[in-house]
């Protein structure tokens, strides 16, 4: 039960191959011919059996065979019978390489696979490669060499191209997965397996679209938390999107939103096929996330300046040696060397000079990575310099990239660099861009670690009041809220708005304006008019009562003429918000397909479309994410001291973004929202105008077990936090796990007794590997849950001062099984807290969560020689049975 559910597909011990008659090529499709050639080119580590559904005996005879994986490369009419036969053979996975299968036939194959309990990859797929197993179950050409890089692609043509490139560049793979347009095992499931695959250290993905944003984000976040993931996505522009939809059968969303989703998932996006190859080079070298400071070591000023220009262009930082490093390095270099910005070694530089400069940069804390650029010189030895880099690479930990300019004269040098696994590029820009990918991964990992709750720690909003406003509007069969209704909604979440009052006559407008104080603004109030300025429904800077009366009458007449069928409630009157020293901001909400609601931020005012300043972030937000969202906008440069204006109140602005995030999380009916302009200055912020569009919430978001089904990223489930008493005094808290619990979880593991560790992990490991630790602490709260028991220990220092430190003393977790109706649990309690009721409490709490999620059964494996756990399970009402696959285990189950 510890194996991943896709293990039979990607790590099969036995394979059944359906290709027609093995001895008669006339019965084989083109894919079958290519598949047979690929399978026979090397010796698979498991067992292969070739079957023909027409001549291999009766169905009963065939059904006696057994296999983990069935590979089907047959004409479309024979695929369904072969898949049904695979089910009778107890195959748990199937790969369909046949092409020309229609969407209708694909739907039928999925039904068969679901009925037989088979995980289906394909149809119309080029297949998979698992080099370590010597398994080439593909029509994508020869088996790739073994490596630690995984490739997942939604394009067969690109898969073949990537493998061809890898063969000539010395790049090896742990896995190659080619996904068809109608496959049942999708990109999310492939990522989920690779995230847990010990042979895979990095992942590159080519994709055209996704069909389920929540599942995709869950798998991508899990994978990127454990290892670097680089994504190339097609369909960036409108025409490309249209093509991608018809080609992949998946929904392609706004490119800006996709960027925001990848950032939040901790992955890196590249924009071209060339950049994907560059990223693959770096990942194959096993480089890990770094900062943004790149030192450029060169023997030519021109190429070095080009590289420095590109560093600035893509928002990296030029890594500069400290004064101490310069003093130590200078005596080792030629007299004309310059170390002010670039590490320019001059034209006289030889191998020992490059070696000394790289070693100095490696030791300098102001530098995160190094790029060595070599320009061919008369009398120079490009190969000797490359050899020097290969030697120094063995002793450094920072990323080292290279760019050997030229062609014929540096061919041998590039071969040396390739052999040393030093990424080599032909241009400085390509090398800097590759380092930029590493830096982006580092930055995006910070976003990945954020797990905000749906509600911030600010004053609680009036959620029920806001819902009543929405329900009343929907009851009137309207979707666009009036300005008054929109501002009421904002006020319910404590977002400051200008005082706005509705006048139903010119006299009433004059009285309201006089009470509010001049100048004022008048705006038409109608549920049928979205853009008030288009019908001359806005009048600004009115300075006296006569002006208010005239503006009211003129506005009512003009709107009635331009929009005669519009229902008009009257005219709103509000103070003019002073913008002399304030900045006009836009804060909004867009609903993307497939990623759902997305929060937008940028420059506001009447020029919003022209400026087109819109940064995006997926909800929920916390203060860190809100600040990063602001920083990504172009208007961020004006929010500090700017042109004589004092800096704006950033805390107030961030709080508004947190409030908008709360609205998005708690009100699934929201579809669009424009707060424009939102005026912010040193004193605070206020919404001057707002437009909100709503619709009925989808079934996933409005009811059932998941109130936040409309979000692509599930918020931190703070509602499961509890406090429980300890026998004999004291208390402990139970709460969902967070990414920042990693060190406390490792401490728990290291202090367990050998017996407790063995009972939990069936292993003698003394600490959790980094990938497992990351996997255990950053989880998808939708498909799994981990609850930690946290005890606050009080210790007295030498001065008598009492300090409190938190300690994790127990963990219970479950993960939903592929059937989506049951889950598997695990439990561990610190040895010094055994017998205090923590095990029972953690199990009851995790069962409550699983029950709320709509799961029907919880089960787990317990070693037969673990009497304490078996006693606990029986006391909680679990059934205990011998595990059929291994008598050393008992399987314990409980209906929820």
Distance between CA atoms of residues 813 and 720, nearest Å: 13
Q: How many Cα neighbours within 13 Å face the side chain of 582?
A: 22
Q: What is the 3-state secondary structure (H, E, C) of 435-488?
A: HHHHHHHHHHHHHHCCCCCCCCCCCCCCHHHHHHHHHHHHHCCCCECCHHHHHH
Return mean pLDDT, the chain: 88
**In this model, does residue 333 exceed pLDDT 50?**
yes
User: How confident is residue 155, by pLDDT bands cut at 50, 70 and 90?
Assistant: confident
**In this model, does residue 145 exceed pLDDT 70?**
yes
Distance between CA atoms of residues 550 and 510, nearest Å: 10
Distance between CA atoms of residues 324 and 7, nearest Å: 53
Helix (H), strand (E) at residue 632: helix 623-632
**In this model, does residue 699 exceed pLDDT 90?**
no
Distance between CA atoms of residues 595 and 214, nearest Å: 8
Give the model's pLDDT for residue 282.
79
Q: Which residues contact 873 (CB under 8 A, 6 or more apart)?
A: 862, 880, 892
Cα separations in angstroms, 35 against 74, 94, 220, 828: 11, 14, 30, 47
> The pTM is what?
0.84
Q: What is the DSSP string of 224-253?
A: HHHS-EEEEES--SHHHHHHHHHHHSSB--
Distance between CA atoms of residues 741 and 326, nearest Å: 40
Q: What is the DSSP string of 583-608?
A: EEEEEEEEEETTTEEEEEEEE-STTH
Give the model's pLDDT for residue 253.
47
User: How confident is residue 747, by pLDDT bands cut at 50, 70 and 90?
Assistant: very high
Give the model's pLDDT for residue 62.
59
Q: Which residues contact 568 (CB under 8 A, 6 or more apart)?
A: 524, 525, 526, 556, 559, 560
User: How confident is residue 56, by pLDDT bands cut at 50, 70 and 90?
Assistant: low
**In this model, does residue 3 exceed pLDDT 90?**
no
Give the model's pLDDT for residue 894.
96
Give the model's pLDDT for residue 247.
33
- Interval 433-469: pLDDT, tens: 989 988 888 888 888 888 898 988 888 999 999 999 9
Please identify which residue in the block is written with the tokens 């996997």.
Answer: 775
**In this model, does residue 722 exceed pLDDT 90?**
yes
Give the model's pLDDT for residue 583.
87
**In this model, does residue 158 exceed pLDDT 60?**
yes
Provide the sign of the torsion angle of the four alpha carbons 138, 143, 147, 149, taken in this order: negative
Inter-residue contact 768 to 831 (CB < 8 Å):
no
- Average pLDDT over every residue of 720-748: 93
- Interval 522-579: pLDDT, tens: 999 988 887 788 899 999 999 999 999 999 999 999 999 999 999 899 999 998 876 5
Distance between CA atoms of residues 877 and 668, nearest Å: 38
Q: Which residue has the higher pLDDT, 343 or 170?
A: 343
Give the model's pLDDT for residue 700.
59
Phi-psi region of 235 (alpha: psi -120 to 50; beta: other; left: phi over 0): left
Between 129-138, 216-225, 238-247, 569-578, the lowest mean confidence (pLDDT) is in: 238-247
Distance between CA atoms of residues 331 and 316, nearest Å: 29
Give the model's pLDDT for residue 455.
86
Inter-residue contact 133 to 176 (CB < 8 Å):
no
Give the model's pLDDT for residue 339.
93
**In this model, does residue 251 exceed pLDDT 50?**
no
Distance between CA atoms of residues 636 and 614, nearest Å: 11
Between 62-66, 109-113, 179-183, 385-389, the lowest mean confidence (pLDDT) is in: 62-66
Inter-residue contact 116 to 131 (CB < 8 Å):
no
Let me know the angle formed at the C-alpha of 13 by 8 and 16, rounded to the nearest 5 degrees.
Answer: 80
- Interval 463-503: pLDDT, tens: 999 999 999 999 999 898 988 899 999 999 999 998 899 99
Give the model's pLDDT for residue 289.
60
Radius of gyration of the chain (CA): 32
- Average pLDDT over every residue of 334-350: 92
Give the model's pLDDT for residue 352.
94
Q: What is the largest CA-CA distance in the chain?
A: 98
Give the model's pLDDT for residue 441.
84
Give the model's pLDDT for residue 474.
95
In whole angstroms, what separates CA 160 from the centre of its chain? Answer: 26
User: How confident is residue 775, by pLDDT bands cut at 50, 70 and 90?
Assistant: confident
Q: What is the 3-state secondary structure (H, E, C) of 149-171?
A: EEEEECCHHHHHHHHHHHHHHCC
**In this model, does residue 152 exceed pLDDT 90?**
yes
Give the model's pLDDT for residue 245.
35
Give the model's pLDDT for residue 2.
59
Q: How many Cα neighbours within 13 Å face the side chain of 56?
A: 22
Helix (H), strand (E) at residue 120: strand 119-121
Q: How many Cα neighbours within 13 Å face the side chain of 621?
A: 29
């Amino acid at each position: 039960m510890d194996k991943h559910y896709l293990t039979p597909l990607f790590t099969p011990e036995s394979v059944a191959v359906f290709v027609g008659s093995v001895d008669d090529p006339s019965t084989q499709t083109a894919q079958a011919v290519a598949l047979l050639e690929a399978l026979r080119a090397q010796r698979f580590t498991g067992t292969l059996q070739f079957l023909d559904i027409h001549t291999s005996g009766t169905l009963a005879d065939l059904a006696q065979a057994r296999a983990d994986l069935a590979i089907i490369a047959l004409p479309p009419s024979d695929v369904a019978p072969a898949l049904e036969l695979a089910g009778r053979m107890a195959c748990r996975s199937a790969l369909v390489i046949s092409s020309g299968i229609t969407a209708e036939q694909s739907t039928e194959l999925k039904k068969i696979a679901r009925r037989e309990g088979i995980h289906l990859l394909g149809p119309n797929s080029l297949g998979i490669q698992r080099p370590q197993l010597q398994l080439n179950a593909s029509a994508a050409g020869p088996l790739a060499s073994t490596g630690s890089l995984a490739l997942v692609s939604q394009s067969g043509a690109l898969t073949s191209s990537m493998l061809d490139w890898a063969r000539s560049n010395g790049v090896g793979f742990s896995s190659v997965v080619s996904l068809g347009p109608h496959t049942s095992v999708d990109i999310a499931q492939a990522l989920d397996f690779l995230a847990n695959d010990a042979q895979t250290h990095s992942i590159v993905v080519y994709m055209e679209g996704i069909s389920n944003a929540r599942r995709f984000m869950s798998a991508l976040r899990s994978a990127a938390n454990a290892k670097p993931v680089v994504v190339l996505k097609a369909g960036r522009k409108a025409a490309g999107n249209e093509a991608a939809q018809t080609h992949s059968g998946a929904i392609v969303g706004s490119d800006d939103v996709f960027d925001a989703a990848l950032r939040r998932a901790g992955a890196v996006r590249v924009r071209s096929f060339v950049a994907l190859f560059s990223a693959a080079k770096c990942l194959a070298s096993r480089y890990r996330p770094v900062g943004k400071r790149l030192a450029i070591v060169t023997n030519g000023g021109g190429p070095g300046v080009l590289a420095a220009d590109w560093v600035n262009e893509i928002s990296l930082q030029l890594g500069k040696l400290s004064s101490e490093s310069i003093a130590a390095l200078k005596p080792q270099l030629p007299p004309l060397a310059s170390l002010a910005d670039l590490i320019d070694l001059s034209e006289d530089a030889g191998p020992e000079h490059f070696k000394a400069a790289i070693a100095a940069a490696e030791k300098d804390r102001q530098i995160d990575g190094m790029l060595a650029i070599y320009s061919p010189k008369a009398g120079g030895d490009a190969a000797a310099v490359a050899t020097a880099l290969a030697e120094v690479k063995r002793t450094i930990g920072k990323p080292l990239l290279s760019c050997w300019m030229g062609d014929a004269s540096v061919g041998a040098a590039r071969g040396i660099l390739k052999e040393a696994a030093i990424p080599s590029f032909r241009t400085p820009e390509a090398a800097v861009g590759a380092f930029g990918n590493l830096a982006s991964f580092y930055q995006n990992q910070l976003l990945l670690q954020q797990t905000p709750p749906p509600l911030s720690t600010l004053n609680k909003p009036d959620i029920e009041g806001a819902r009543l406003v929405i329900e009343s509007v929907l009851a009137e069969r309207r979707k666009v809220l009036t300005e008054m209704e929109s501002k009421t909604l904002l006020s319910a979440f404590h977002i400051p708005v200008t005082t706005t009052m509705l006048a139903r006559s010119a006299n009433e407008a004059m009285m309201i304006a006089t009470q509010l104080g001049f100048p004022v603004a008048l705006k038409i109030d109608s549920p049928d008019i979205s853009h008030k300025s288009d019908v001359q429904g806005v009048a600004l800077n009115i300075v006296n009562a006569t002006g208010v009366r005239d503006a009211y009458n003129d506005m009512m007449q003009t709107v009635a003429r331009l929009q005669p069928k519009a229902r008009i409630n009257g005219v709103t009157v509000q103070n003019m918000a002073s913008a002399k020293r304030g900045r006009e901001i836009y804060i909004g909400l867009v609903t993307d397909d497939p990623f759902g609601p997305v929060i937008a931020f940028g420059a506001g005012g009447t020029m919003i479309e022209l400026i087109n300043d819109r940064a995006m972030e997926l909800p929920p937000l916390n203060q860190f994410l809100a600040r990063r969202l602001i920083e990504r906008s172009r208007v961020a440069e004006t929010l500090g001291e700017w042109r004589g204006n004092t800096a704006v109140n950033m805390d107030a602005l961030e709080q508004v973004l947190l409030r908008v995030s709360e609205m998005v999380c708690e009100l699934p009916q929201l579809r669009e929202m424009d707060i424009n302009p939102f005026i912010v200055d040193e004193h605070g912020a206020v919404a001057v105008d707002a437009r909100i569009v709503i619709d009925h919430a989808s079934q996933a978001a409005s009811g059932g077990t998941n109130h936040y089904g409309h979000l692509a990223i599930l918020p931190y489930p703070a509602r499961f936090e509890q406090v429980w008493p300890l026998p004999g005094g004291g208390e402990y808290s139970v709460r969902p796990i967070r990414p920042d619990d990693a060190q406390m979880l490792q401490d728990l593991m290291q202090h367990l007794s050998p017996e407790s560790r063995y009972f939990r992990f069936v292993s003698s490991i003394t600490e959790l590997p980094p990938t497992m630790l990351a996997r255990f602490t950053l989880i998808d709260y939708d498909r799994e849950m981990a609850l930690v028991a946290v005890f606050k220990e009080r210790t007295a220092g030498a001065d008598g001062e009492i300090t409190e430190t938190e300690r994790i003393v127990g963990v219970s977790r479950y993960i939903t099984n592929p059937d989506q109706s049951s889950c598997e649990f695990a439990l561990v309690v610190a040895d010094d807290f055994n017998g205090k009721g923590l095990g029972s409490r953690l199990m009851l709490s995790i069962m409550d969560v699983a029950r709320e999620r709509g799961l029907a059964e919880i089960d787990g494996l317990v070693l037969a020689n673990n009497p304490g756990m078996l006693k606990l399970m029986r006391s909680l009402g679990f059934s205990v049975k011998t595990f059929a696959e291994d008598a050393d285990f008992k399987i314990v189950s409980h209906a929820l």
